[in-house]
């Protein structure tokens, strides 16, 4: 984010919330690439100057939103993750589609970083390990999940959340198993 401020300042919290809500509202109607800072400011009822006090650009705002999601997901208990992930994807399918469908390299990188951090956190819960092979495997899995979401949304395939959750869980379990049998290089 552009500036560094006290995180508990209500004005900052309200501005961040207004901008995130504006982005989500716009993503419900159109592709991320077609959303401008002017659109975000108009929807949030703030000036462009205020936007740039807090964020460098719309990509920084997207990164901020995904960072808050990561915190929410990683603070859940293991048995709550599946339900929360399922609810999130089911309730935000249009937003997900409009974020990943025509994603450029910058958006893809932000999504990859988000998926990497979530997968890493889920795996650490089970293994308490972070080797070089673990990190490489987590990046591989994150790229696969981003591509998986992109293909599902591009082809308008139905999201069967039980299958996706099982896929993610098995991916993380396989990653941990594989990593435990490797030596660092």
Tell me the pLDDT of the chain (185 aa) as tens digits. 555 556 678 889 999 999 999 999 999 999 999 999 999 999 999 999 999 999 999 999 999 999 998 888 777 776 676 677 777 777 888 888 888 888 899 999 999 998 888 777 776 766 665 666 777 778 888 888 888 778 777 777 665 655 666 666 677 777 667 766 765 54
Largest CA distance in the chain: 54
Q: What residue ranges define each of the domains in the chain, with the CATH number in brackets?
A: 1-75 (1.10.357.10), 78-180 (no CATH)
Q: What was the pLDDT predicted at 85?
A: 72
What global pTM score does this model have? 0.80
Q: How far is CA 182 from CA 5, 93, 169, in A?
A: 43, 37, 20
* Gap between the Cα atoms of 159 and 126, Å rounded: 27
Q: What was the pLDDT predicted at 177?
A: 72
Q: What was the pLDDT predicted at 101?
A: 81
Q: What was the pLDDT predicted at 146?
A: 84
Q: What was the pLDDT predicted at 185?
A: 46
């Amino acid at each position: 984010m552009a500036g560094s401020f006290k995180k508990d300042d209500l004005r900052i919290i309200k501005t961040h919330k207004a901008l995130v809500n504006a982005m989500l509202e716009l993503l419900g109607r159109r592709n991320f690439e077609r959303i401008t800072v002017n659109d975000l400011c108009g929807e949030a009822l703030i000036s462009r100057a205020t936007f740039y006090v807090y964020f460098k650009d719309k990509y920084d705002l997207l990164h901020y939103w995904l960072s808050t999601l990561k915190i929410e997901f990683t603070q859940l208990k293991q048995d709550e993750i599946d339900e929360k992930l399922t609810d999130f994807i089911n309730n935000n399918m249009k937003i997900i589609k409009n974020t990943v469908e025509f994603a450029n390299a910058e958006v893809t990188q932000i999504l990859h970083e988000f998926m990497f951090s979530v997968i890493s956190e889920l795996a650490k819960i089970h293994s308490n390990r972070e080797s070089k092979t673990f990190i490489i495997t987590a990046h591989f899995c994150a790229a696969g999940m981003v591509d998986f979401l992109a293909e599902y949304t591009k082809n308008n395939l139905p999201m069967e959340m039980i299958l996706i959750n099982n896929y993610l869980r098995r991916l993380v379990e396989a990653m941990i198993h594989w990593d435990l049998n490797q030596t660092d290089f």
